[in-house]
Amino acid sequence: MNPFKHAIVSGRPLLGTWMMTGSDTVAEAMVTVGFDFLVLDQEHVAVDTLDAIRIDRAIRSVNAATTPLYRLAGNEVVLIKRALDGGATSLMIPFINTVEEAEKARDAACYPPYGTRGFAAMHRASGWGSNPAFVADARDELCLILQLETPEAMAHIEAMAALDGVTGFFIGPGDLSCAMGHPGMPSHPEVQAMIQQALSACQRLDKPCGIVGGTPELVNRYQQMGFSFVALASDMSFMLARAKEQLAA
């Protein structure tokens, strides 16, 4: 089974970071730090399908246990299909607000009869056709995370969680703060209350839930709250922080 999926479903907390540089070299280096997963951002970073495959290869070449978690550019059938055919096993689909949008993501990610994913025999995910069990195993291997970024999305967690094929959720605190009228203030008490409410719903429904925090203190707090997987800052923020520290010195 997908190690990332197995870990978060079984309750083992994971710690990762965000990849904002779009660099396979940086990703390869970040694996050596010891993160459990690296969020391969394609929504806010100019990373296309081929770039993603290069970054994926770089990560897995150092440690196959470190998971590239693809945060796609959007909830689009072609993007989901290309990521999966390119070798992704863990997907995070951004800005899911309704059950219908959740169903669209699930259907695009699963082969019939569970969904409508298009079939191709020769691609990286199937070992270029060398794995005859690929289609049968694809559903078990898939980790499908839906990203919740608005109060509307939070209101539909229970219905989304009931969809067969949805592994878990990820709360986007930045967009949530904007949607709640507190842009750039994810630590605002109202935003934090909404985050706690969503996490409690996921725990009640026995669904893994992830989040991102900008500082070790905030990440520690999220872990203590019970989040299944938490991302700490990003490769770009680490680089800039160190550069500023050295320049100031």
Q: Which residues are catalytic?
A: 44
Inter-CA distances, 201 with 109, 157, 168, Å: 24, 7, 12
Per-residue burial over 5-31, b if 16 or more Cβ lie within 10 Å, else e, is bebbbeeebbebbbbbbbbbebbbebb
CA distance 61 to 102: 32
Distance of CA 220 to the CA centre of its chain: 19
For residues 3 and 65, the answer to whether their CB atoms sit within 8 Å is yes
CA distance 14 to 212: 12
The pair phi, psi for residue 23, each rounded to 5°, is -110, 130
CA distance 59 to 25: 9
CA distance 8 to 14: 7
